[in-house]
Structure 1
């Protein structure tokens, strides 16, 4: 949205500059005023956009800022997870960590789109994500050293097992976040099916012909 606001503000600046300049205001004055108009437009659009988002998600500005702060921190952790993913050499491990990475991305995508869901996913943000990143980084560190002794292989195997369990836990968290959506969808489907059933059971009356 910020990019769109910037584009609109730029158009305001260009149009207002031409109007002011053609009105004999002068190049410098026109440039300064059009820049002020553009900056004002950008922040006004951002303010209105934030207000709409707050109203839609039923959040206070303080709550919204708190959520955005946590999403920003989570995004930085996600970058570390991406970096670890590209360091994996094993095809099997790449598949496991790739699935975990996709699950994390899906949770973040849902919360970014609907910030109010953050409180439904607080366990993910405060516990699971840290475990995911730390465990993945630990695994890639151990795997990169290619140690062949029994203890190292055992540690890698146990870490892979934990990664699978974490993937399942994150997917379960996502299912919990979206559970209300599935319930609403199920209710809407039942209403639609009931409506179709009623329409099918009502037979049109035959029009009587008069002699």
Structure 2
């Protein structure tokens, strides 16, 4: 949402600069209409680029990242989004009511990790296990499971393979849930600290009140 408003601001600033530069060039410096318009377009583009550079620099400072680190993370997030799309398609190809709830939960967690790290790229390093190992395993196994599950004839061997694959997916679901907790670890620690502080304050308050009464 913040990036959207920044885009609107850049667009507004660029358009305003275009109009101002065009008017000044055309009226004050008596340039031709076309020449003034070109100056305005150039000024608007320059302002938009400068603001985009400023917003990007501010974003990197807030996340404590260098431009090289951000490009590295951005590249991996782009690849991860494609993998999550594959995961989602594979999960929904398996039309099994018994597994539907878990499939939805796996997709939800994967999308949650992606959304958090896209919004705050510095958390990417807390989710490296998810991006470089667990997500790949999930995609590969879910696609294999969807393929096997779609076969019309269920032989004993096929049924056994489906059961083994499902067991592995269950374990991976637990692992991915731990990946989400790893990404949220700092938030959980901060929340626990604030809760402990609030509890101590609530315990001490009656005593402080009694002392004041004396």
- With normalisation by structure 1, the TM-score equals 0.86
User: CA 1:22 to 1:33, structure 2 compared with 1: closer, same or farther past 3 Å?
Assistant: closer
Tell whether the 8 Å contact from 1:5 to 1:42 is kept in structure 2 after alignment: no
Paired residue total: 206
CA deviations 1:69-125 (Å, max 9, x no partner) are 111111111111122233222222332222111111111122112211111111111
User: CA 1:162 to 1:27, structure 2 compared with 1: closer, same or farther past 3 Å?
Assistant: farther
CA–CA distance in 1 between the matches of 2:35 and 2:92? 52
Residue 155 of structure 1 deviates from its aligned partner by: 1.2
2:12 matched to which residue of 1? Answer: 11
Higher mean Cα deviation, 126-135 or 114-123?
114-123
Alignment of 1:158-173 (within 5 A): 158-173=164-179
Alignment of 1:81-120 (within 5 A): 81-120=87-126
Alignment of 1:1-211 (within 5 A): 3-23=4-24, 24=26, 25-203=31-209, 204-205=212-213
Higher mean Cα deviation, 9-18 or 151-160?
9-18
Mark the runs of 5 or more structure 1 residues left unpaired by the alignment. 207-211
Residue 146 of structure 1 deviates from its aligned partner by: 2.5
In proportion to residue count, which structure has more helix? 2
CA–CA distance in 2 between the matches of 1:50 and 1:149? 56
Residue 15 of structure 1 deviates from its aligned partner by: 2.5
CA–CA distance in 2 between the matches of 1:6 and 1:28? 27
Tell whether the 8 Å contact from 2:14 to 2:48 is kept in structure 1 after alignment: no
User: CA 1:83 to 1:34, structure 2 compared with 1: closer, same or farther past 3 Å?
Assistant: farther
Mark the runs of 5 or more structure 2 residues left unpaired by the alignment. none
Higher mean Cα deviation, 12-21 or 124-133?
12-21
CA–CA distance in 1 between the matches of 2:23 and 2:43? 17
